[in-house]
Amino acid sequence: MLCVVRNALGELAAKLGFPEPDCRAVVLAVDEALTNIIRHAYLGDAERPIEASFRRIQVARDGKSAEALEILLEDRGVTVNQEKMCGRALEDVRPGGLGLHFIRESMDTVEFSRKWGRNQLRLVKFLHTNGPRKGS
Amino acid sequence: MQIAARHLDKITIFDISGDIDLATSPQLRKALLRELRELKMPRVVLNLGAVRYIDSSGVASLVEGLKASRDVGSRLILFGLNKTVREVLQLSKLVRIFEIYDNEEQSVAT
């Protein structure tokens, strides 16, 4: 299922006018976030529900209004331990622990919260382009 | 993801295609560790030219393979990295720890 989400999200980001490297960044961040939910919140169960919503928003940036893509991911898994969500030092060469680093490097805003028995992850990517919008 | 193995003297070449992600990275990890730890191949070369996507679990499998190669005194070599794979390795800051070449000729000759 992850590859289906990746393909759809890549198309969506391109239609919103994100340049190719930013499309890849958004896809990587969401893929890593979903992987973390399956692994940590659902303890490896890939069949549990994850709600995802995507919307174009206006954000204030450097005193101006800018367009961005907001992504909300919600799961009903176990509470995410915020201390474990700090990633790890990259100098430590070992497998694992890279997912959160990828998410933080790829997105402009990364926010975790726990509401009404659900984990929520909010991701925002600013639209950096001066060219014409490819889609609407 | 598809993995096809070729053998050239004491070199194993894995031609990998498709997506390396949460679902498929265990297959890559298993293939690498078998070649390095069990068969003790002196050189394992990964052709990543047809890899469309790699995530952190894929990078973790490569790191595990690299560690296994160091443990047994062999070499793990990557070649054919496209833009997507190179970007992810650079993002991980691990690109410098891997032995990477542009093509197969360099990977088997060096």
Residue A84 pLDDT exceeds 90 = no
Q: Residue B59: which pLDDT band, with cuts at 50, 70 and 90?
A: very high
* Residue A1: closest C-alpha in chain B: B23
pLDDT digits (tens, 9 = 90+) for A107-126: 999 999 999 999 999 999 99
- Which DSSP symbol is given to B80? -
On whether residue A34 sits in a domain, the answer given is: yes
Residue span of the structural domain in which A114 resides: 2-126
On whether residue A120 sits in a domain, the answer given is: yes
ipTM for the predicted complex comes to 0.84
pLDDT of residue A47: 93
Residue B75 CA to residue B98 CA, distance in Å, equals 10
Residue B32 CA to residue B76 CA, distance in Å, equals 9
On whether residue A132 sits in a domain, the answer given is: no
On whether residue A37 sits in a domain, the answer given is: yes
Domain spanning B2-109: which CATH class is it, in words? Answer: alpha beta
On whether residue A133 sits in a domain, the answer given is: no
On whether residue A79 sits in a domain, the answer given is: yes
Which residue stretches of chain B are H helix? 25-33, 56-72, 83-91, 104-109
Residue A10 CA to residue A27 CA, distance in Å, equals 6
Residue B85 CA to residue B90 CA, distance in Å, equals 9
pTM of this structure: 0.86
Mean pLDDT of chain A: 86
* Residue A10: closest C-alpha in chain B: B53
Total domains, chain A:
1
Mean pLDDT confidence for A41-58: 94
On whether residue A135 sits in a domain, the answer given is: no
Tell me which chain B residues have a C-beta less than 8 angstroms from the C-beta of A21.
87
Which tokens go with B73? Answer: 């005194």
Phi-psi region of B6 (alpha: psi -120 to 50; beta: other; left: phi over 0): beta
